[in-house]
Structure formats: C-alpha cells, structure tokens
Amino acid sequence: MATPLVVSDVAKSFTMHLRGGLVLPVVANVSFAVASGECVVLGGPSGIGKSSILKMLYGNYAVDAGQILVSHAGRTVDVASADPRTVLEIRRSALGYVSQFLRTVPRVAALDVVAEPLISRGTAPEEAHERAAELLSRLNLPRDLWQLPPATFSGGEQQRVNIARGFITDHAVLLLDEPTASLDATNRRVVIAMIEAKKMAGVALLGIFHDEEVREAVADRILDVTAFSPRRSAA
Ligand SMILES: Nc1ncnc2c1ncn2[C@@H]1O[C@H](COP(=O)(O)OP(=O)(O)OP(=O)(O)O)[C@@H](O)[C@H]1O
C-alpha cells in the first residue's frame, strides 16, 4: 500500500505587497512522510511555520517549490501542483482537515454541518445524520444545540462541531490544527480516544497540539519544524 502522505522539498515564503514586496521566508526543504496508522505531530516554537505547513498540505496556501503527494484508492495526487477542482476532489475523498476554528455557515444546524461531508460523498442523509448524532453525543454536545446553527456556540462547542465534522469521514489522511485548544479535560480525552481509533483504522494523521498531555498521548513521532526554518541560524 502506498504511503498516504509524502511531502518532499516543500518551500514557502510570503511576499508582503503592502511592505514594498518584502519577502518573508517561512520554511524550506520540508520533507517527511506519514504512514498509515501513524500520528505525526509538528513541533517547534510559535511562528516557526507549523500552521503554514498544514495549510499548504490542505491546498489553502500555494507552495513555492516541492511536492505534496496524497495517495488514495490506488492513485496519487500532488496537491502542490493540482488544479483547484482536483484539490476539492481530493479533499472530498482522501484529505480531511480540522481547523482551529469552525467556519460557520449561517442558518445551517450543527447536525447538518457535521453530516454534510458524508452526504457529499453519497451517504444517505438519514445514515449521515445518525452518524453525526453519535459523534456529537460522544463529544458531549448538549442535544438541544444540535438543531441550532453553531454561530452563537461557545468556542469549545464550536470546536467540538468542527472535530465531529472532520472525523465523520474515513479519509486516508487527516490534518489536525490544535483540535483540542478550547476543550476541557473530559472532551480532550474523548478526542484522544477518537485519534486512537483513527490510527487503528489505518488513517495517517498529522497534527499540531500545544497541549502536552494530548501530544504525549497521540504522537508516534514529533517533527521539529525548526529544522525546516531558513531563519533558524539568524535566531
Ligand atoms: N498569510 C500570511 N501572510 C504573511 N505571513 C504569514 C501568513 N501566515 C503566516 N505567516 C507568517 O509565517 C510565519 C509562520 O506562521 P505559522 O502560523 O505557520 O506559525 P506556527 O508555527 O503555526 O505558529 P503558532 O504556534 O504561534 O501558531 C510567521 O512569521 C507568520 O507571521
């Protein structure tokens, strides 16, 4: 079976157009792979480029160089050079992402927000809603919130909706950007167990976790992003 995620020689810099075109190099020569059933955690100090790496992998940020190979169902796609339509297709079928904050859509109920990725992959709405309800109940989201749009939910409630939405599919690769940052200890433990279940199912996980307890519990390997920082020698 092909390795689900292979990153090779990726580089990224930001050009600050409002600052006379100042170029800020963020990472260079980023090379690593995440195997099926493995959870790799991106480490290193604040501002070193951890979130930028996740955003490039998900196709939110363009890359200056390198390849981001995602394998799924016998084919491999390079997210770094894929056209937008292919990126959307790979997100739907193979590449999941739990961002730090939920992007709420007005007037869409929490249960529908969570069920949507399954429905868009062809699961019957009833079955998708059942699965969404299971996840929301596992994450202790009060049942009377399920039919409400999450816009007015607390930070931790929104984060749990976001986690449920990200975990509902069986994507081969799952990117996690501080999914437990706003959670209490009980729900952090639920998320740790959900990550363990994904590993058992053979998913390749790559995440950022500032919480040490969570990091220790889930990480098979910590990858220090300082090694990819072009600014490290200047620091
Ligand atoms: N869209 C952007 N435009 C310009 N600079 C950016 C942009 N996104 C990130 N940066 C810069 O890139 C560097 C890396 O930021 P990034 O958010 O990836 O770091 P991080 O390691 O995830 O930090 P933290 O742990 O604090 O979240 C920072 O210097 C940041 O200011």
Cβ(26) – ligand 1 distance below 6 Å = yes
In a domain, 181, yes or no: yes
Euclidean distance between CA atoms 59 and 54, whole angstroms = 9
Helix axes 125-138, 155-167, angle to 10 degrees: 130
In a domain, 199, yes or no: yes
Cβ(12) – ligand 1 distance below 6 Å = no
CB 80 within 8 A of CB 56: yes
Q: Which domain holds residue 164?
A: 34-60+88-228
Cβ(186) – ligand 1 distance below 6 Å = no
Token pair, residue 21, equals: 């075109």
Mean pLDDT confidence for 128-151 = 96
Predicted confidence band of residue 163 (pLDDT cuts 50, 70, 90): very high
Predicted confidence band of residue 235 (pLDDT cuts 50, 70, 90): very low
In a domain, 83, yes or no: no
In a domain, 21, yes or no: no
How many structural domains does the chain have?
1
Token pair, residue 65, equals: 């160089």
In a domain, 82, yes or no: no
CATH number of the structural domain spanning residue 149: 3.40.50.300
In a domain, 12, yes or no: no
Least confident of 29-43, 99-113, 166-180, 214-228: 99-113
In a domain, 4, yes or no: no
In a domain, 197, yes or no: yes
Of 10, 12, 14, the one to substitute when testing ligand 1's pocket (max ligand atoms within 8 A of C-beta) is 14
Note the ipTM here. 0.95
